[in-house]
Amino acid sequence: MTDPSSAGAAFAAGIGRRIRDLRTARGISLSELAQRARVGKATLSALEAGTRNPTVETLYAITAQLGVPLGALLPDPAARPAMPPLHGEAVSGELLETFHDGSWTTELYRLRIRPGRRQISPAHPSGVTEYLTVFQGTALVGPPDAPLVIPAGSHLSWTSDTPHLYATATPEEVHATLLIRHPHH
């Protein structure tokens, strides 16, 4: 059995390596990426060193500036043991599968939205679309100033190239799947 603390440390170290590799391949300094992603330089440095556990919001801010899907930072679902869920202010998600089909990358996540919290996800690159299917609970998603309600048994999609909200509309936790489609630029 794998020690959960060592698995978590290996997970964080892998994410850090992938951030650093993508950043250097694009010729972007650590300071420049931190500024563009609106993440503290010390935070980004700790993420790259694998000494800090990233939040979903931070990873999305970084991947948006690198022009890659979140899955580019995560281990391949088929080649890894159980990945620890990524956590944000309100959302916990687990990457289940990544599909590459021609000019698109599609990621499938299992998602939980905790009640009593709101999470603003940073804007994704142009052309990214999210598709949420709710199985339990009622979700509030989309534009923070005019969120849409998605009850259990329903689904919704929206262009996510602007900041967007994740919250619950009721005290019940939301269980859902999320597809995120990224065009190759």
Q: Block means of pLDDT (10 residues each) for the chain, length 185 residues?
A: 56 88 93 93 93 86 88 72 78 90 91 95 90 97 93 94 94 97 84
Pairing of strands 104-113, 155-159: unpaired
Q: What confidence score (pLDDT) does residue 4 get?
A: 42
CATH class of 4-73: mainly alpha
Q: What confidence score (pLDDT) does residue 6 get?
A: 65
Look at residue 128 and give its three-state secondary structure.
coil
Task: Tell me the backbone φ, ψ of residue 55, rounded to 5 degrees.
Answer: -90, 160
The verdict on pTM exceeding 0.85 is no
Q: What confidence score (pLDDT) does residue 79 get?
A: 60
**CA 56 → CA 25, 63, 68, 76, 90, distances in Å?**
23, 10, 14, 17, 10
**CA 71 → CA 90, 109, 123, distances in Å?**
19, 10, 16
Q: Do domains 4-73 and 80-183 have the same CATH topology?
A: no
What is the C-alpha to C-alpha distance for residues 66 and 91, in angstroms, rounded to an integer?
A: 22
Domain coordinates of the chain in residue numbers?
4-73, 80-183
CATH architecture observed for domain 80-183: Sandwich (2.60)
Task: Please report the DSSP string for 31-83 in residue order.
Answer: HHHHHHHT--HHHHHHHHHT-SPPPHHHHHHHHHHHT--GGGGSPPGGGSSPP
